[in-house]
Amino acid sequence: MEAILKLTKKNGTVRVVKAPTLTQALRELGISKGGANKNILKNGKIFSKKLDGIVSISSLPEYYKEASEEKEVPTVSSVEEFNALKTISEKFQVLHNSESKNTEFLQKEGKKLLFRYELENEPDMYLTLQYTDTIGEFTVEENFFQSEVSNFKQKKITNITVEELNQKRQGPTFEQVVRFNEKSRKESCEIIDEDRRINSNGDNGFFPYFNTTGYDLSKYQVFNKKDTKQKDFVEKSSINCLIYALEQSGLVETQQLNNVKIALQTRLIPQRELNNIATIINRVITHRYVDKNTEKIVNVAYYLPNGTKTTKKPKDFKIEEAINTVSYKNHIFLYENTKYITIKTQKRKVKQFYTSFKLIKKIFKEGGMESMKLTKEALKFIDNNGKIDEMVFDKLIAPKKLETPKEDKPKKIIEFSDVYFADTEANINLREGQNHEVFLICWASRDNPQIFSANGPDCMVQFLNSVKANSLVYFHNMLYDMNFLMECPNIEIVRITEKNNMFYELVVKWYGKKIYVRDSYKHLPMGIKDLAVAFKLGIEKELNIYRAFNTKNSGEKYLTLKKLIHHVKIEKPLENPEEVAREMFEKARIHGAIYINEKNEELLDKIKYNTFYCEQDVRILRECMLLNNKFWKTQFNIDSDQYLTISSLSNAVLKSYHCFDDVFPVSGVNKLFIEKCIYGGVCRTGKNQKWDIKGEFVDFDAVSLYPSAMFLRDTFPKGQEKVLTEKLIKQLNSGIFESIDQAFMEVEITAVNNPMEMTPIMTEKSDESMKYGNEPGVYFIDLITLKDWIKYLNIEYKVIKGLYYNEGFNENIKGLVEKLFKLRKEFKAQKNNLQLNVKLMLNSLYGKTIQKSSKSKKTVFNNRVAFERFVYKNYNFIKKAFKFRNSDKYLVKTGQSIIKDENFAQVGATILSQSKAQMNEILAIARDKDIPIYYQDTDSLHLDKKNIEKLGEEFNKIYNRELIGGELGQYHSDFTTETETDPTKLYSDHLIILGKKAYIDRLRHINKPDFIDYHIRLKGIPQKVIDYFVESNGIDPIKLYTDLYEGNPVKFDLCKNGSRFKFDKNIFSVSTNLEFIREVKF
């Protein structure tokens, strides 16, 4: 077989060359530069500036010799060897819900071989095969397979050749992986379960053998079969081997061990993390490395508490207190003397004992280890490397003392050559599961307001060709548009920034030029239509009927008015179809999108109308994003294009205003403990029940609740967290708080003497949601909350343990919030649309303080060669892998440790508690004055209109400040509609409350008796779907909510009154849901 290369030039021309070797093929193309051979093998393709195109591998000889820095090492020495190995792999194909349809040899490294199993309707599976001519011994256990294995059930076969095995192997293939072992010194053939394979990167984990001797090796996580009968066996065998070794050493405190468990969220320990683990446990780890061939210790490394590594015995650390470990068979365990005496010294006076390493190695060599065949249940791992002691935090430990918080690394500044604003239109394919196909893209840039467009199947290619190198491209809701970018031939994905399935950035290379793609929605979180209104641009977003403008509908390029009316009826059932269609035709005339046919009929040109529609979106997006950038530069000297989200922008401003000076981040168990004291906004119904009441009600809303808390109260505790002493706990239990600024505690509430029945403020986290009540019990709360419960509920309590701060507060946030609030008022008075930017910033100031690190990572590989190379070296950390549709790209989701995870949880927790304390002032007055509160949602209260004045008067008496108004810390009515923006003119005369985020207000106007509108919330059901349901069933919204109030289930089709797209974020495709039923019942 020859080496075949394909050159795809930027202008679209293709050239194919063939040669006996890869080097010769490259030379034939004119590429002789050193490293080209290696790079194309590594990545599957290379970009040639000289040829102005991409050279990719179409085919290589199966026995091709891979290039290395020193010499060429054969992947497979001959075609015969390849075929022989392939034969073996085919005899042990893997089933995964369906038959394997193809098996392919991938590569060889030493005696390990990797095979790919191609499965029907499932991701491909990758398995390692250790190959030699003779198989030593293997067993098959019946309960290991779903399908019956004929001729092999509960049988043991010894010393069988490959040929004999091939002859004996009959019947169904295996559902899982068979493990082959030997008792002789012969090499073994081993197919290993994907969660049990030996990792070529040197990562350490599970030891898949039973100890069949009388030696007790359980201290080293090497078990006998009888151990499997113990209740805790699965947990013991599943804990990561290093964590198990740390536990068995007896030198690591529980809290430190919990810190390690929290930090390491992968089941295997990468050796590169040993430095960080030594830092966490504040102790030297002395680790011995064993040569896999000689099985002798060849290297000793010292991992030090200061985060460094050395191979020389350290002088500045107590080496005698180190934890000694060794790695054998990719399994870490304690390195120490056992109680077993060596044979050579049993008769001597001075006894010599086996080390744990030598004993386990000796038993292994003498055949005392048997391959472990666990049931499927026993193969399950515990996600967090063992339970974290039920989160009781028996002994909290103060962090290592630091003089000042560590400085952040300087932010890397990217000098963008230009910034583009783009939008796409696609055929939505109205068949279930059919993917959308892009046919149009429009764009403009920061430096050039002219809007360009490209249409046709290659429109994305035309766009990529036009943008400058090292440029930034914004799409609004980029997840939709990036699907089409991914499909471009020869595009190289450099990096994806993603967290919890939210995509923030895509970096690509297009024929050598790097392009950054980001989501403008993360800066301005509202739709294009709402942006145009909010920024008062005077530009109206046009209407588009997606099904009508699908360019694939019967190959039609034009639409008659009659057909357009038909499509409007289906897609916009609540609109007047004829009126909408005629308006669209009128817009088409203005913008030259009308075609006159031979019958002198006016037809709407689909492409031209779509282009006009798309250009309008680009125009709005460009104007808003440029205004946004100008705001950040003018007010804070910050280039918003250097940040991915408004939260990261706000965080940068906090740092520039020195809000984090002397404020230290928290990590490990202490971070986890503080996070248990974090409770989001309160959302509950009065008395935790449903309501259907008539009268006059208002939605009493706090003015910028979180900014108010930061401005009026102390929220940024300075210093490092400290552990509450017995003396301080006694003071807290006696109601003495003067020596503590803030604390996070586990508290037992023994009595609640003055409960809030209407609006209980005691909050307890459950698996499903927050629970609000007045029940005694154990709570994790902060000092602010404890004081409120003492003040308003007259609780009896006992502080059990906790962390505290007593170095005052950083108050710089107060000046920043005051500046921003005044700035917004000025902008509003000037009718300056930048007031929206200030509002968004105010609401996102604290978000980063409680941000959690992602436990997984997504990586894209641009070709199969790179993907399979990664799989081969990192399969222990791979959670899922997917192949893109119509592409040779792969997405891999891997687990990652959060060993360096830290945040400012104490700040976020304090802000949230202070905001609730502000609301509690109102709730306590309402309780004491018999003012019913029917519903609370974070920063607003539903109550009777007549009680607003009463509430304000009482508040003024107690706190000597005005309650009602538009300043920070004040409240006002918040009902508005499209036709009435003055909230003082509106009230609700009928209120139905079903549950959290589920209620309706029928709005009336104080001066207009015939005025009726609705303020509706129904979590999970969009407003336009409710509108369609009500209209199509001939009922008013009150009737709908009455039915729900009475407990009747209601089914909504979320696809009605508009299109609903379905995204597959693993293979980057988008399709249209034709039906999406959601049933609601209360």
Say yes or no: 86 and 68 in one domain.
no
In a domain, 59, yes or no: yes
Question: Which of 897, 925, 948 is the endpoint of a domain?
Answer: 897
Q: Hey, what are 727's tokens?
A: 């003396």
Say yes or no: 473 and 590 in one domain.
yes
In a domain, 163, yes or no: yes
Residue 1067, pLDDT score: 63
Residue 104, pLDDT score: 38
pLDDT band at 900 (very low <50, low <70, confident <90, very high): low
Question: Which of 584, 614, 638 is the endpoint of a domain?
Answer: 638
Say yes or no: 433 and 575 in one domain.
yes
Say yes or no: 355 and 242 in one domain.
yes
**914 contacts 713 by C-beta, under 8 angstroms:** yes
CA distance 34 to 605: 54
Say yes or no: 376 and 249 in one domain.
yes
In a domain, 370, yes or no: yes
pLDDT band at 1069 (very low <50, low <70, confident <90, very high): confident
Q: In what order do the strands lie in the sheet with 100-109?
A: 100-109, 112-119, 125-130, 190-191
Residue 277, pLDDT score: 87
Q: Is 406 helix (H, G, I), strand (E, B) or coil?
A: coil
Residue 975, pLDDT score: 92
The listed range with the strongest mean pLDDT (318-322, 381-385, 433-437, 543-547) is 318-322
Q: Hey, what are 1011's tokens?
A: 């005025």
Residue 131, pLDDT score: 33
Residue 138, pLDDT score: 30
In a domain, 922, yes or no: no
* Nearest CA among 544, 545, 542, 475 for reference residue 508: 475
pLDDT tens readout for residues 620-643: 999 999 999 999 999 999 999 999
CA distance 1038 to 1042: 6
Q: Is 735 helix (H, G, I), strand (E, B) or coil?
A: coil
Average pLDDT, the chain: 78
Residue 272, pLDDT score: 64
**480 contacts 438 by C-beta, under 8 angstroms:** no
pTM of the entire predicted model:
0.72
Question: Which of 55, 73, 91 is the endpoint of a domain?
Answer: 73
More confident residue, 263 or 464: 464
Q: Is 325 helix (H, G, I), strand (E, B) or coil?
A: strand
pLDDT tens readout for residues 846-867: 888 888 777 777 888 888 777 7
Residue 224, pLDDT score: 84
Where would I find the H helices in 689-735? Answer: 705-712, 726-733
pLDDT tens readout for residues 244-253: 899 899 998 8
Q: Hey, what are 438's tokens?
A: 């892009």
330: left (phi over 0), alpha (psi -120 to 50) or beta: left
Residue 692, pLDDT score: 97
CA distance 815 to 993: 39
Residue 728, pLDDT score: 96
To the nearest 10°, report the CA torsion of 922, 924, 928, 930.
60
Residue 101, pLDDT score: 36
CA distance 984 to 973: 7
**838 contacts 20 by C-beta, under 8 angstroms:** no
| End-to-end alpha carbon distance in the chain | 68
In a domain, 843, yes or no: no
Question: Looking up tokens 């303080």, which residue turns up?
Answer: 849
Average pLDDT over residues 592-602: 85
pLDDT band at 106 (very low <50, low <70, confident <90, very high): very low
pLDDT band at 545 (very low <50, low <70, confident <90, very high): confident
Average pLDDT over residues 63-84: 36
Pairing relation of β-strands 691-702 and 940-944? antiparallel
Percent of the chain with pLDDT over 90: 39
Residue 353, pLDDT score: 86
Residue 991, pLDDT score: 97
In a domain, 42, yes or no: yes
Question: Looking up tokens 């039973």, which residue turns up?
Answer: 210
More confident residue, 87 or 645: 645
Say yes or no: 458 and 588 in one domain.
yes
In terms of residues, how long is the chain?
1082
pLDDT tens readout for residues 122-178: 344 333 333 332 222 233 222 222 222 223 222 333 333 333 433 443 332 222 223
Question: Looking up tokens 């309402």, which residue turns up?
Answer: 926
Say yes or no: 266 and 358 in one domain.
yes
pLDDT band at 436 (very low <50, low <70, confident <90, very high): confident
What number of CA atoms fall less than 13 Å from residue 926's CA on the CB side?
26
Say yes or no: 520 and 599 in one domain.
yes
In a domain, 808, yes or no: no
pLDDT tens readout for residues 438-480: 889 999 999 999 999 999 889 999 999 999 999 999 999 998 8
Say yes or no: 228 and 363 in one domain.
yes
User: Per residue in 216-230, is it b (16+ CB within 10 Å) or e — as a string?
Assistant: ebebbbbbbeebeee
pLDDT band at 394 (very low <50, low <70, confident <90, very high): low
pLDDT tens readout for residues 994-1046: 999 999 999 999 999 999 999 999 998 999 899 989 988 999 999 999 999 99
Say yes or no: 215 and 148 in one domain.
no
Residue 829, pLDDT score: 87
Average pLDDT over residues 662-677: 89
pLDDT band at 5 (very low <50, low <70, confident <90, very high): confident
The DSSP output letter for 417 is S
* Tally of structural domains, the chain: 6
Residue 75, pLDDT score: 34
Say yes or no: 262 and 138 in one domain.
no
Pairing relation of β-strands 419-427 and 471-475? parallel
In a domain, 770, yes or no: no
Residue 197, pLDDT score: 32
Domain range enclosing 424: 419-638
Q: Is 1066 helix (H, G, I), strand (E, B) or coil?
A: coil
Which residue type occupies 1008? K
pLDDT tens readout for residues 281-304: 889 999 998 887 888 998 899 999
Q: Hey, what are 533's tokens?
A: 């209104």
Percent helix, strand and coil across the chain, each to the nearest 5? 30, 30, 40
Say yes or no: 249 and 359 in one domain.
yes
794: left (phi over 0), alpha (psi -120 to 50) or beta: left
